[in-house]
Amino acid sequence: MSDRLWQRLGAASGIVYVVLLMGGGSFDDHTVGIAFLVVMLAFLLFLFFLGNLWSALRRAEGGSGWLSATAFGGGLMSVTIKVASTAPLLAARYRAGDGLDPQLARTLQDINDASFALSFFPLAVLLAAFAIVAIRSGAFPKWLGWIAAALSLAFMVGGMSRSADLQGEWGGLPMILFMFWVIAASVVLIQRAGAVHPAGRSAPVAPASTPS
């Protein structure tokens, strides 16, 4: 396979991530094992999308590339939080038929809810770093950068809201919007796969040699 095709597959992983994540929530309690596998597969595919996004940001940013590394770290941290939070919830559902103490079951559910809120903050970092690189470099559509900036702020507000009150429902809205942003970013990355130089930048010109 060509490098361009691999880049497109990595970018397309973001779209599949969204589809699987939404599909994983449609299973009932009798198929919790299948739902868990679907969600885990979604998070694994998100890592491929994240790596592809980091690569594109790194090429666009140039220099030390610390913003692209920050974006990658934020995305990786959010996945780590979510994967770790599913273990107690999965255990509670598996033990539900064995007379699990309701208070313990509620505590495990609260742990999952709290982790969901905490994952908002690293996602805010991911989106903020992307927005800065996208808007400054011109390697990505400006609208995608500005939407990322707005979503970053929404995640910060939503994370603080859910952290203060885990029963708050509106705090989940940024995550829904994030799904659409991932799809849009995936489409852009697919279209620009294989680009040697980021949009809005010219290739570096080697200095002319001095005649001897």
Query: What secondary structure, in 3-state letters, does 74-101 show?
Result: HHHHHHHHHHHHHHHHHHHHHCHHHCCC
Contact 57, 67 (CB under 8 A): yes
Count of structural domains, the chain: 1
Full residue range of the structural domain in which residue 57 is found: 3-191
Residue 211 lies in a domain: no
Residue 41 lies in a domain: yes
Residue 212 lies in a domain: no
Q: At what angle do helices 32-61 and 173-191 cross, to 10 degrees?
A: 50
Residue 139 lies in a domain: yes
Spell out the per-residue pLDDT of the chain, length 212, in tens.
678 888 999 999 999 999 998 886 655 555 666 777 888 899 999 999 999 999 999 999 988 999 999 999 999 999 999 888 777 666 666 665 555 666 766 777 777 777 888 899 999 999 999 999 999 998 999 999 999 999 999 999 888 876 655 545 555 788 899 999 999 999 999 998 876 544 444 334 344 444 44
